[in-house]
Amino acid sequence: MVEKERISLCNDKEVKNGEYVLYWMQASQRACFNPALEYACLTANALNKPLIVLFCIMPGYLAASFRHYKFMVEGLQENSDSIRKRGAAFIIKAGEPCEIITELSKNASMIIFDFAYLDFMKAVRKKAAAQSVCRVVQVESNVVVPVAAASSKEEYSAATLRPKINAVVSKYLDYEEEKTEIKNKISDPQIESLTEQQAKEYIQNFKRNNRYFDESSFTGGYSQACQKLEVFIKDKLHNYAGMRNDPTCEVQSDLSPYLHFGQISPVYIAKQIIKTLSESAEEYLEELIVRRELAHNFVMYNEDYARYDSVPVWAKKTLAEHLSDPREYYYSPQQLENAQTHDEYWNSAQNELLLRGKMHNYMRMYWGKKIIEWSETPQKAFEIMVYLNDRYEMDGRDPSGYAGICWCFGKHDRPWSSRRIFGNVRYMNDKGLERKFKIQKYVQRIENLKKGR
């Protein structure tokens, strides 16, 4: 059963005696451990109606590039088979979701959305719900603890959110998937839709007609995510606590792209990790639940999450006080994008992003701190980081990405000893990398990756 805290009403329309129940799948692109899909199946059966699952391919979505669309379509192909096996129809349409949903609402009994955190997608849902002629409900399905159930306000740090999550998390980890099958099956929804092959061709056209971006090293889909989780638990988890910050040790789960696209559930991941009884399990769950959901709390309650205005007042003040400090290096956005700096460690991090579509988390922090140091103003640094993150990271345009960028400017952190340029904002340098890690090993690995492309 889907917990009531995950469910919220989007409009005041009535449930109609329509032809079908419609579930607009957007944030939770999976057929397994998806409370929004489960709720849609239960609703369709309760109303004795067929279920249509709709996915809208949106052109020009928040700076997304070919690598993101390709990854997404790979996951959708797998979804289609799983959804149809449960008796629901699965359709893909290209265009603006509001227009598509408004049209389909005319014959729908009820519509279910999955939950959005970013302002752009919240606005789309609000408009679509207002224009629909039947009841619209949304279900929060991409966090372990629903954001509002954990806290009703923006939290200062992990230290303030952690006890609130720990007080209720066991309830949401008890969720068991039922995989409800649709009683009133529909083989052909009689709605014009892109086939999976047409969707692939649509993405190839996107590649031809837009700036070219290499594919990432990730293949999309629920089964791919499960394989990565299995490898992580079997081969990496036991070293995670001690080595997760070391960019020369490949012990990270690499699940963030799949979490971002909703291709795997954080509840499912957490339940599998808990089963291991590993000493590192607690460390990983801290990142998966507390830290990740701190980021969701941030974007939910701070409308400036993708702008410099979201930086804490104390941090903006200290950075402004050091604005005239001399900077040894300045780099243009183009030089940074092309990894053309004097710092081979930073260049390796940027090249990892360009080539793989994902940067090691520790290097991501170093990467951001150096952009602050090499930019004319903190505001310009913030803009550059958002652009590069959203354009190249497979988990870009995501609460964790925006929270990570803002962390580089002092968010969810505390004041440190004053330094040139940074003031009291935490500082990182190459000497720290050399002291903590065999960082040349990381540089060499990225060089080998470049040669292999």
pLDDT score of 453: 65
What value does the mean pLDDT take over residues 116-142?
Answer: 96
- φ and ψ of 109, to 5 deg: -80, -40
Summarize pLDDT for 310-366 with one digit per residue, the tens: 999 999 999 999 999 999 999 999 999 999 999 999 999 999 999 999 999 999 999
- φ and ψ of 113, to 5 deg: -110, 150
Nearest to 13 by CA among 158, 110, 115: 110
SS3 163: helix
| Residues whose CB is less than 8 angstroms from the CB of residue 344 and which lie 6 or more positions away in sequence, other chains included | 443
What value does the mean pLDDT take over residues 138-163?
Answer: 98
pLDDT score of 212: 45
pLDDT at 73 exceeding the cut of 80: yes
What value does the mean pLDDT take over residues 66-84?
Answer: 89
Q: What proportion of the chain, given as a percentage, has pLDDT over 70?
A: 96
pLDDT score of 199: 74
Q: What interhelical angle do 344-356 and 378-392 show, nearest 10?
A: 40
Summarize pLDDT for 213-271 with one digit per residue, the tens: 567 789 999 999 999 999 999 999 999 999 999 999 999 999 999 999 999 999 999 99
pLDDT score of 193: 76
pLDDT score of 208: 64
All domains of the chain in start order, with CATH: 1-142 (3.40.50.620), 143-176+220-301 (1.25.40.80), 303-452 (1.10.579.10)
Summarize pLDDT for 172-200 with one digit per residue, the tens: 999 888 899 999 988 667 777 777 777 77
Instruction: Identify any residues that bridge with 113 across adjacent strands, giving them in sequence order.
Output: 24, 138
pLDDT at 112 exceeding the cut of 70: yes
| Residues whose CB is less than 8 angstroms from the CB of residue 251 and which lie 6 or more positions away in sequence, other chains included | 236, 239, 240, 243, 244
Nearest to 117 by CA among 401, 442, 398, 411: 398
pLDDT at 201 exceeding the cut of 50: yes
Distances (CA, A) of 69 to 166, 201, 314: 36, 11, 39
Summarize pLDDT for 18-39 with one digit per residue, the tens: 999 999 999 999 999 999 999 9
Averaged confidence pLDDT in the chain = 94
